[in-house]
A and B are shown apart, each in its own frame.
Chain A
Amino acid sequence: AQTVTQSQPEMSVQEAETVTLSCTYDTSESDYYLFWYKQPPSRQMILVIRQEAYKQQNATENRFSVNFQKAAKSFSLKISDSQLGDAAMYFCALFGNEKLTFGTGTRLTIIP
Chain B
Amino acid sequence: GAVVSQHPSRVICKSGTSVKIECRSLDFQATTMFWYRQFPKQSLMLMATSNEGSKATYEQGVEKDKFLINHASLTLSTLTVTSAHPEDSSFYICSARDDGQVYGYTFGSGTRLTVV
A contact residues vs B (CB 8 Å cutoff)? 33, 42-45, 50, 91, 95, 98-105
Contact = CB atoms under 8 A, between A and B. Distances in A.
B109 A42 contact: yes
Nearest to B32: A98
Interface string B23-59: 0000000001010001000111110010000000000
B46 A50 contact: no
Contacts of A99: 46, 49
Interface of B: 32, 34, 38, 42-46, 49, 91, 93, 95, 103, 105, 107, 109-110, 112
A104 B42 contact: yes
Contacts, number: 37
A95 B103 contact: yes
Contacts of B103: 33, 50, 95
16 contacts: A33-B103, A43-B38, A43-B91, A43-B93, A43-B109, A43-B110, A44-B107, A44-B110, A45-B93, A45-B95, A50-B103, A95-B103, A100-B34, A100-B95, A102-B43, A102-B45
A91 B109 contact: no
Interface of B is mostly: strand
Contacts of B105: 95, 100
Nearest to A46: B107
Contacts of A105: 42-43
B44 A102 contact: yes
A89 B32 CA distance: 26
B46 A100 contact: yes
B34 A44 contact: no
B98 to A, nearest CB: 13
A101 B7 CA distance: 24
Contacts of B46: 99-101
A98 B31 CA distance: 13
The 4 closest A-B pairs by CB, nearest first: A45-B107, A102-B43, A43-B110, A104-B43
A48 to B, nearest CB: 13
Contacts of B38: 43
